[in-house]
A = this chain, B = another copy of it.
Amino acid sequence: MVYAVILAGGTGTRFWPFSRELEPKQLMRLFGSRSLLQGTVARIKNLVPANNIYIVTNKKYFFELKKQVENFNIPFKNIILEPEGKNTAPAIGLCARLIEKNDQDAILVVLPSDHYIKGQHSFKDCIEKAIGCAKNNFLVTVGVKPKSPSTGYGYIKISKRKNGYFLAEKFLEKPEQKKATVFFKDKRFFWNSGIFVWKASVFLEELKARLPELYFNLIAIKSLGDIGKTWHKIKPISVDHGIMEHSKRTVLIPADFFWSDVGSWDALNAVLPKNKEGNVIQADCLNLNSAQVSVFGRGNRLISVVGAKGLIIADTPDALLVCDKNKTQDVRKIVERLKAKHRKEHLAHATEKRPWGAFTVLKTGLGFKVKLVEIEPKKRLSLQRHRRRAEHWIVVSGCAKVSSGKKVKFIRNNQSIYIPIKERHRLENPMRYPLRIVEVQTGNYLEEDDIERLEDDFRR
């Protein structure tokens, strides 16, 4: 049987300020209405039944990821949660281990969740070819013909051409500019797309031979419940570095679909359609004589650009980025600085997602905080209590079921309720349509950690 293993544990640094630690690139809607992850799932569903699609991710992404794949009928047990990211070899190894336990002939199609691919048919043909190779116990990589002497990708050097595939002679890390230029001119070099196809059993054999410590840690995992016990012992290592650079049975299938890893704002920009001045405008924008400017707005604010050249502008309610087009690789340094300064703009958006919906802080002032809280149909927050704040709730659409102390009330549009300090309370949306309330908190301490959860549908 063929299985898909989608790697969705990446962190959100490169598309800051649109991406955040809690909203990494793979969960973002960079193209149209689907996130990159949803695009990846949709693409592989043509080849692999939903029951065989596995997604490995960090546990902090679980609720959002679950929401995003809900409509694809992937069993929730197939969402494998890592307590922390350990790079690709352990993530793939874990899935191989769990799948191979039940299906010794399993073939895995390993897919990054955050790439952009155009050409559904070619993609399908390519993966089918790769599956054919994998049946012959090869470790198959999909290689992309280089379009530029990029220093942003790993390269693969092929040797002999076989029937529809190439023997892969060498896997090379991201090169310096000089080497990249040499590789680009030499027809034997391909970009490493990060798409791999192999038998689970073959991959585990390779792991055993080359990363035995990891192999034995993985073998100790007999069920999902065992992951937590073992994971902290595992050392991070990439599959390229740990396996592909050393294995003797690697082959390459060339991709004849359009591929981009959309690894930076500039890479995103490169695949978006431009107007005749070379601009990309995805915002409420007034532009006067600017060229090669890309404006991305999520800040609900007018962006005006006058006479600018070669810029990326990305605006969100709490953080703005103005970046030279050729410097988008440095965006991760901004995220590092934010971390170092113990700020919060790299962590979550002003609108923070929760398993029951989302909230947006509208204003923080001395002694008060105003939030817009949106609760999805039939969901409820935890039964909770705050030690240091009172809450005023005004329902602005929908209907709320509110437990406060021993009472239960239904609060409708244009009605309000007051929750005193220390009162046990619970907010629920009993309806089939969304509920929105404006919450005004008052008190001398208004942080999210002033919450005592007495009961929770989401086991938080």
CB distance from A422 to the nearest CB of B (A): 14
Bound-state CA distance A397–B320 (Å) is 31
Contact at A442–B418, with CB atoms within 8 Å?
no
Bound-state CA distance A274–B331 (Å) is 24
* Of B304, B368, B418, the contact of A438 (CB 8 Å cutoff): B368
Contact at B363–A302, with CB atoms within 8 Å?
no
Contact at A311–B304, with CB atoms within 8 Å?
no
The answer to whether the Cβ of A120 comes within 8 Å of any Cβ in the partner chain is: no
CB distance from A279 to the nearest CB of B (A): 13
Contact at A308–B322, with CB atoms within 8 Å?
yes
**Chain B, residue nearest A326 (CB):** B307
Contacts of A318 in B (CB 8 A): 301-302
Q: Give how many copies assemble into the complex.
A: 2
The answer to whether the Cβ of A142 comes within 8 Å of any Cβ in the partner chain is: no
Contact at B396–A394, with CB atoms within 8 Å?
no
Bound-state CA distance A307–B334 (Å) is 12
Contact at A397–B307, with CB atoms within 8 Å?
no
The answer to whether the Cβ of A237 comes within 8 Å of any Cβ in the partner chain is: no
Contacts of A319 in B (CB 8 A): 301-304
Contact at A322–B306, with CB atoms within 8 Å?
yes
Contact at B330–A307, with CB atoms within 8 Å?
yes
The answer to whether the Cβ of A440 comes within 8 Å of any Cβ in the partner chain is: yes
For the complex, count residues of A whose C-beta is within 8 A of B: 58
* Known pairs A301-B319, A302-B319, A317-B301; A416 contacts B414 (CB<8 A): no
Bound-state CA distance A326–B340 (Å) is 35
* Of B330, B343, B396, B442, the contact of A368 (CB 8 Å cutoff): B396
The answer to whether the Cβ of A102 comes within 8 Å of any Cβ in the partner chain is: no
Contacts of A308 in B (CB 8 A): 311, 322-324
* Known pairs A322-B311, A322-B313; A334 contacts B440 (CB<8 A): no
The answer to whether the Cβ of A349 comes within 8 Å of any Cβ in the partner chain is: no
The answer to whether the Cβ of A390 comes within 8 Å of any Cβ in the partner chain is: yes
CB distance from A163 to the nearest CB of B (A): 48
Bound-state CA distance A27–B387 (Å) is 44
Bound-state CA distance A334–B290 (Å) is 13
CB distance from A399 to the nearest CB of B (A): 13
Query: Contact flags (1/0) for A342-370 with B, using CB distance below 8 Å?
Result: 01010000000000000010110111101
Instruction: Offer 11 A-B interface pairs, CB within 8 angstroms, sorted by A.
Output: A299-B301, A301-B317, A302-B320, A303-B320, A304-B322, A306-B330, A307-B324, A309-B324, A365-B436, A370-B370, A394-B442
